[in-house]
Amino acid sequence: MSADRRRWVLHVDLDQFIAAVEVLRRPELAGKPVIVGGRGDPTERAVVSTASYEAREFGVGSGMPLRIAARKVPDAVILPVDAEAYTVASEQVMSALRAQPGATVQVLGWDEAFLGIETDDPEAYARSVQAAVLERTALHCSVGIGDTLVRAKVATGFGKPRGVFRLTAENWLDVMGARPTIDLWGVGSKISKRLAGLGIRTVAELAAVEDEDLVAEFGPRMGPWYAQLGRGEGATVVDDTPWVARGHSRETTYQQNLVERVAVEAAALELLAQVLEDVAADGRPVVGLGLKVRYAPFITKTFTKKIASTFDRETVLAKTMELVEKIEDRPIRLLGVRAEMAMPDDARQGHTPTRGGW
């Protein structure tokens, strides 16, 4: 590697991906507020999968109940989720990324991926990636440039839409220091509140913490990890090993609340049967379980349980029902069941924040 060339991490994120795919199929929707969710019927119980930038201006966001989104934007075009179409578009995007010279590609999901590259001009390379994706798919993307995966991922948010932004050790605290910890990749509302309870509210404050100072609150693995996130540190190498699911989950939003205990148990068993079909196809043992419950009107709780590694269906069933017993006697609008599986190489999963689960 020459003195002027160095390794970089690019994070490529498609702009309003699902909505953009729908607009490509229906060009007349360009510039209009588009909301995608459920079966496209706001009178049914469903949540927003994505919204176009025009809809987001009205406060519509992913996970919002579809009926509320429709109320916020009365003239919005509301469309059903079409996972097959999004999968096809995603495959075209990833194919375009893999065709980039010298790039190692790590797919994160339908609409994002890391690229490991070597260049003396990462901005020019990023622009060429954007052009290649646009030419291949007619979709726009934003690109974050970093010297770690974490910094590249965070940088993308500053580049949206259709832009390029660089975050490195040199400007990390200048850009991120005054921001709340929830702005970090891998820090959600619960973790940010726990950090605030320790007097840590900004990224700069988290960056200044010693790794061991967070062990008492978050444990010997996650404590140092959150401190590392505050500094923007972490993995620097993009890993193109095929992604392996940590678990499988199924959930259903019921158009009529589940009230009777027997109905709740039957619904949980039905979801578990679907999950175990997916698990069986993977051929890995179950090592953990999760149960997601959304009480009416919209209060969500999640119960989890680690179990001894097993292939035994009856054992998984019994342990799941132990979680079901924790459900309160209240009307339920959504149930979800998740099974965590043993990973081929758990060590690799710790390098970057995970996307699975609830």
Catalytic site residues? 112
Q: Which residues contact 357 (CB under 8 A, 6 or more apart)?
A: 246, 247, 249, 290, 338
* Phi/psi at 291 (5° precision): -130, 125
Instruction: Of 48, 158, 12, 114, give the one whose Cα is nearest residue 353.
Output: 114
Whole-angstrom distance, CA of residue 66 vs CA of residue 43: 8
Whose CA is closest to 8, among 141, 146, 132, 195?
A: 146
> What DSSP string runs through 240-286?
-SPP--SEEEEEEEEEEEE-SHHHHHHHHHHHHHHHHHHHHHHT--E
Tell me how far apart the alpha carbons of residues 231 and 247 are, in angstroms, rounded to a whole number. 30
Evaluated on CA atoms 70, 76, 81, 86, the torsion sign reads: negative
| Cα angle: 274, vertex 280, 281; to 5 degrees | 95
3-state helix, strand, coil in the chain (%, to 5): 40, 25, 35
Cα(316)–Cα(307) distance, rounded to whole angstroms?
8
Separation of alpha carbons 52 and 49, rounded Å? 11
Inter-residue contact 275 to 249 (CB < 8 Å): yes
Q: What are the structure tokens assigned to 265, written together?
A: 């148990």
CA distance 127 to 104: 17
- Cβ neighbours around 63 below 10 Å, total: 9
